[in-house]
Amino acid sequence: MSRFLTRLSRWFHKQMPTHHQLAENRLTRPFARRTELFRFTRRSVPRGVAVGLFIGIFALIPGIQIVGAALLCVPSRGNIPIAAAMTFLSNPGTTPLIIAASIWVGNLLGFHADLTTFYTLYESGAGLREWTYWMLSNAAPALVVGLFVISTVCSALGYLLASWFWRAWIGRKHRARLARVPIIHRKDHKHVD
């Protein structure tokens, strides 16, 4: 597991755009001056995870997710690449499950949306018109409230897990560094005569 995480970390750092590349792109030029939005720190990574999960689940429209996550990272000082990566949690495979769970949560909170109609529309491959009619019925409040609750809970859990993972990862790196340094060069070593 450790080798996998190390290789994944190296690959991710190689894929990161340079500051020069960000400054050259017209879409990312305003963010290029704010380098803290692209640094991996103990505060920015969990914030990026939380922002990415919240926007990725709540805004189920693919183009809006990454842009929304990047824009929300600016005031929250979250890591934009992490937030953008976390939006991919909602994809064509997981979106029906997220919608069904959101409707279920919305119904638990007192709203009314018919899950059987949702499944029928999904299985029959309904078009935009049928989905719009369904959304304009009582399904919309249940779906929106359910999406908000699920995205809020997931972003809070993601923040806590990312904080814990970051702390564990840095601790492992620190212990490995101490194991490589001879005892004589350690600051905490006291020479006894």
How far is it, in rounded angstroms, from Cα 123 to Cα 176? 52
pTM of the predicted structure, to 2 decimals: 0.72
pLDDT at 81 (0 to 100): 83
How far is it, in rounded angstroms, from Cα 71 to Cα 52? 11
* Per-residue pLDDT reduced to its tens digit, 158-184: 999 999 988 888 888 888 888 887 666
How far is it, in rounded angstroms, from Cα 93 to Cα 65? 16
Cβ proximity of 57 and 105 under 8 Å? no
Interval 34-45 mean pLDDT? 80
Interval 13-41 mean pLDDT? 69
Under the banding of pLDDT at 50, 70 and 90, the label for residue 193 is very low
Question: At 18, which amino acid appears?
Answer: T
Under the banding of pLDDT at 50, 70 and 90, the label for residue 152 is very high
Helix, coil or strand: residue 128: helix
pLDDT at 21 (0 to 100): 66
Supply angle C-alpha 51, 53, 55, rounded to 5: 65
* Per-residue pLDDT reduced to its tens digit, 89-128: 888 888 888 988 998 998 898 888 777 777 788 788 888 8
